[in-house]
């Protein structure tokens, strides 16, 4: 016992020292990390997974690009037809082949050799860069070993998809330029505003679809994440990535770049240039025009930062309408599921039946959703001394919810419920079910407290409650859950 007590005292005195050692010693030193082995089996599995994702992404991008291109052409043809009636000379100018070559093209990807579209601004995509580099690295490694595997086909599909993404970028830039040119040239023609709005919608939603597809592509499985983590630990891959990745061009910047201001514009030179320009353009009038342009640019930047336009990063993508962010979502992503329960009491304090509802809804936009479902009436007994479960009926529901403010919704619905006929009713020859209708409207509260799942409570008025036999309560209170 003395030995144990002494040992305990020693540990007690050095407790903080031991804690300090645990915190200071690096994690890598405490636990040994297994060495990553680039085996053919793992490479094949990784190749199969990313190939499936890339093919799906390629198909979605190609299909949407073709659809958007056709829609844009239809909008331009309608605009051209109307403009020919108003101003034929301007129509010939805006829709001539040199100005709008894609107007005469049939396919978005098979452009003429004379048609050279300019690339638009590109955003660096680290996921796509790593995907391309890892595929090229593995393909090169397999080729050096004299082995043929699926990674060669995967690398080919990635390069093909990358070419289509470049073409999509050019097409998106073309949409932006045409939208800007047409809005500027036809601002004095109110009758053409609807057609310009159609072009604006095609341009905006095409960009949002591309972003949505890229976001889905970036969703990684656990195996893909672990494989990339192991691959990043290989020095040969790091060197390959540095030499061939999208950021490799920055490694060629001279070491003394930025240390000298020779040849660069200074604040004083820019201010002097602006002052000379304003004097040449007429002094105060020119300053007012410049100030107006600055305000216009500031407003555009503010709109992009607000996030109300799908995180737009280009001023030409800011729409002249209120966009629906649900339009570019998949059907499955626009569904929501809900369940609720309602108790109906008898003359005693015990609920005679429990009405359980199971519903599926579809979000038309972030504020408005519609849905339908079914209900089941479970009998719970007559009183506390007579508790037993029984089948009491079924029902069909439809509903619509409109968000008024925060978690408060205006809820309306139409329902058809059926209760089992009593013994006396069956003797009289009535059907086994008694159907009755309900027309409901009221308020529903859905506070966001658990992420995708949120509780709900509704209070609705039934306009047809007097027509029920026996009469049912005018107000219906339900509790439930909604899963988005």
Q: What is the Cα–Cα distance from 394 to 355, expressed in whole angstroms?
A: 9
Residue pair 426/450 in contact by the 8 Å Cβ criterion: no
Which is more confidently placed, 460 or 252?
460
Q: Give me the helices (H) in 87-125, please.
A: 88-94
**Residue 475 above 60 pLDDT?**
yes
Given this model, what pLDDT does residue 10 score?
Answer: 47
Q: For residue 31, what pLDDT is reported?
A: 42
CB neighbours of 437 closer than 8 A, spacing ≥ 6? 414, 415, 416, 417, 464, 467
Q: pLDDT (tens digit, 9 = 90+) per residue, 304-315?
A: 555 555 555 666
> Is residue 267 within a helix (H) or strand (E), and if so which, with residue range?
helix 267-281
More confident residue, 285 or 115: 115
Q: Choose among 139, 210, 223, 197: nearest CA to 171.
A: 210
Mean pLDDT (the chain) is 82
- Of the candidates 93, 104, 279, 84, the one whose C-alpha atom is nearest the C-alpha of residue 189 is 84
Check whether 283 has a pLDDT greater than 50: yes
**Dihedral (C-alpha) 94, 95, 96, 101: value to the nearest 10 degrees?**
120
Burial of 356 (0-12, 13-18, 19+ CB in 10 A): middle
Lowest mean pLDDT among 174-183, 282-291, 448-457: 282-291
Averaged pLDDT, 154-175: 93
How confident is residue 260, by pLDDT bands cut at 50, 70 and 90?
Answer: low
Structure tokens at 481: 């859950």
Residues present in the chain in total: 484
Of 197 and 300, the one with more pLDDT: 197
Give pLDDT, residue 38: 73
Model confidence over 403-458: pLDDT tens digits? 999 899 999 999 998 887 665 556 666 666 778 899 999 999 999 887 788 999 99
Q: In the predicted model, is pLDDT for residue 265 greater than 70?
A: no
Position 229 pLDDT exceeds 80: yes
What is the per-residue pLDDT for 107? 82
Average pLDDT over residues 20-28: 42
- The arithmetic mean of pLDDT across residues 314-319, rounded, is 75
- 26 phi, psi to nearest 5 deg: -60, 155
172 or 433, greater pLDDT:
172
What is the mean pLDDT of the segment spanning 58-69?
95
pTM of the predicted structure, to 2 decimals: 0.76
Q: 406 in the Ramachandran plot: left (φ > 0), alpha (ψ -120 to 50) or beta? A: left
Mean pLDDT of 67-88: 94
CA distance 138 to 146: 12
157: closest CA among 38, 242, 57? 57
Residue 247 confidence (pLDDT) above 50: yes
Least trusted range by pLDDT, from 207-216, 299-308, 320-329? 299-308
CA distance 372 to 337: 10
Question: Angle 166-170-171 (CA atoms, 0-180°, nearest 5)?
Answer: 115
Q: Who wins on pLDDT, 422 or 207?
A: 207
pLDDT confidence of residue 451:
78
Q: Distance between terminal CA atoms of the chain?
A: 61
Q: Give the ranges where 110-254 is alpha helix by DSSP (H).
A: 126-144, 150-185, 193-217, 222-232, 235-244
């Amino acid at each position: 016992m003395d030995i144990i007590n002494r040992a305990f005292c020693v540990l007690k005195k050095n407790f903080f020292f031991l804690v300090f050692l645990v915190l200071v010693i690096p994690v890598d030193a405490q636990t040994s990390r297994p060495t990553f082995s680039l085996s053919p089996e793992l490479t094949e599995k990784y190749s199969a997974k990313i190939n499936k994702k890339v093919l799906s992404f390629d198909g979605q991008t190609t299909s949407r690009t073709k659809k958007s291109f056709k829609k844009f052409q239809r909008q331009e043809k309608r605009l051209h037809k109307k403009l020919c009636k108003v101003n034929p000379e301007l129509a010939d100018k805006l829709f001539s082949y040199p100005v709008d070559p894609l107007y005469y093209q049939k396919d978005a990807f098979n452009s003429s050799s004379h048609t050279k579209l300019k690339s638009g601004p590109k955003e660096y995509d680290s996921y796509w860069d790593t995907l391309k580099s890892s595929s090229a690295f593995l393909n090169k490694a397999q080729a050096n070993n004299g082995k043929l595997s699926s990674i060669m086909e995967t690398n080919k599909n990635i390069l093909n998809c990358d070419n289509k993404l470049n073409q999509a970028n050019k097409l998106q830039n073309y949409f932006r330029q045409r939208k800007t040119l047409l809005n500027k040239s036809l601002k004095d023609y109110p009758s053409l505003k609807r057609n310009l709005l159609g072009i604006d919608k095609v341009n905006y939603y095409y960009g949002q679809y591309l972003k949505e597809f890229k976001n889905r592509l970036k969703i990684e499985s656990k195996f893909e994440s672990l494989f990339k983590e192991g691959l990043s630990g290989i020095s040969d891959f790091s060197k390959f990535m540095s030499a061939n990745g999208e950021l490799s061009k920055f490694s060629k910047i001279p070491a003394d770049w930025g240390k000298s201001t020779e040849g660069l514009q200074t604040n004083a030179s820019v201010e002097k240039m602006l002052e000379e320009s304003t004097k040449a353009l007429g002094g105060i009038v020119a300053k007012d025009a410049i100030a107006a342009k600055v305000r216009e640019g500031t407003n555009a930047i503010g709109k992009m930062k607000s996030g109300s336009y799908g995180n737009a990063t280009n001023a030409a993508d800011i729409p002249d309408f209120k966009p629906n962010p649900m339009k570019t979502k998949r059907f499955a992503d626009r569904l929501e599921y809900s369940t609720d329960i309602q108790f109906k009491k008898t003359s005693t304090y015990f609920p005679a039946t429990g009405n359980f509802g199971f519903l599926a809804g579809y979000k038309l936009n972030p504020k408005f959703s519609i849905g339908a479902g079914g209900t089941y009436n479970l009998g719970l007994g007559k009183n506390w001394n007579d508790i037993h479960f029984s089948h009491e009926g079924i029902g069909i529901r439809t509903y619509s919810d409109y968000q008024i403010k925060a978690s408060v919704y205006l809820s309306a619905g139409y329902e058809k419920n059926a209760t089992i006929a009593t013994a006396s009713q069956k003797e009289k020859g009535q059907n086994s079910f008694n159907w009755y209708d309900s027309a409901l409207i009221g308020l529903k509260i859905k506070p966001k407290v658990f992420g995708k799942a949120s509780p709900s409570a509704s209070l609705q008025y039934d306009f047809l409650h007097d027509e029920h036999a026996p009469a049912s309560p005018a107000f219906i209170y339900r509790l439930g859950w909604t899963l988005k």
